[in-house]
Amino acid sequence: MDDQELQQWVERVSLASFGRPFQHRARFNRRLRATGGRYFTRSHDIEISWQQYTEYGAEDVEKIIKHELCHYHLHLLKKGYQHRDADFKTLLAQVGGTRFCKALPTAAKRREPYRYKLVCSSCRTEYLRKRKLDPRKYACGKCRGKLKLHTLDLAHKS
């Protein structure tokens, strides 16, 4: 499937589910990984994750399209188009769109491991961190004791 076929698909879903035409641009974005799609308020364009389509198929992507079209139509009607708005939640339920897309398996694999451990010198509570920080600026959350920073050796850890 290419962008032109996606455009036609979004136009069909818009007319069938919302009774209103989609008059802007829809395209795939091959870099979207953490989200299934995006709606741009300035240009009114929609981007859909290519990875969601290849991994989960047309049925799940159609739910994502409906989600993005909810943003689109409500924004153009000057109604509440954000996730927290009642208008958005109601319309999404009516058309059968999804609130959240499924997580991609590649996103879980690329998680960064913990590199640092903070240890309280008083109560020995341990805090794992991915980023390095200055322990002088922080205190233990349990006893307010001083923290000492340790670097974890990732080569020996499995």
The pLDDT score that the predictor gives to residue 104 is: 85
Pair (123, 66) in one structural domain: no
pLDDT-derived band at 158 (thresholds 50, 70, 90) equals very low
Q: How many domains would you assign to the chain?
A: 2
Secondary structure letter of residue 136 according to DSSP? G
Pair (75, 146) in one structural domain: no
Provide the sign of the torsion angle of the four alpha carbons 41, 45, 51, 54, taken in this order. positive
- 126 tagged catalytic: no
Pair (32, 96) in one structural domain: yes
């009114």: which residue's tokens? 44
Q: In what order do the strands lie in the sheet with 37-39?
A: 26-29, 46-49, 37-39
Pair (26, 48) in one structural domain: yes
CA-CA distance, 76 to 100, in Å (whole number)? Answer: 22
90 in a structural domain: yes
Pair (101, 128) in one structural domain: no
CATH number at residue 63: 3.30.2010.10
| Domain span at 42 | 3-107
pLDDT-derived band at 8 (thresholds 50, 70, 90) equals very high
Which conformational region is residue 97 in: left (phi greater than 0), alpha (psi within -120 to 50 degrees), or beta?
A: beta
98 in a structural domain: yes
CA-CA distance, 12 to 102, in Å (whole number)? Answer: 23
Q: Given the residues 5, 47, 55, 68, select the one marked as catalytic.
A: 68
User: pLDDT tens digit string along 83-140?
Assistant: 999 999 999 999 999 999 888 886 555 667 899 999 999 999 999 999 999 999 999 9
Q: Is the pLDDT of residue 20 over 90?
A: yes
Entry pTM: 0.69
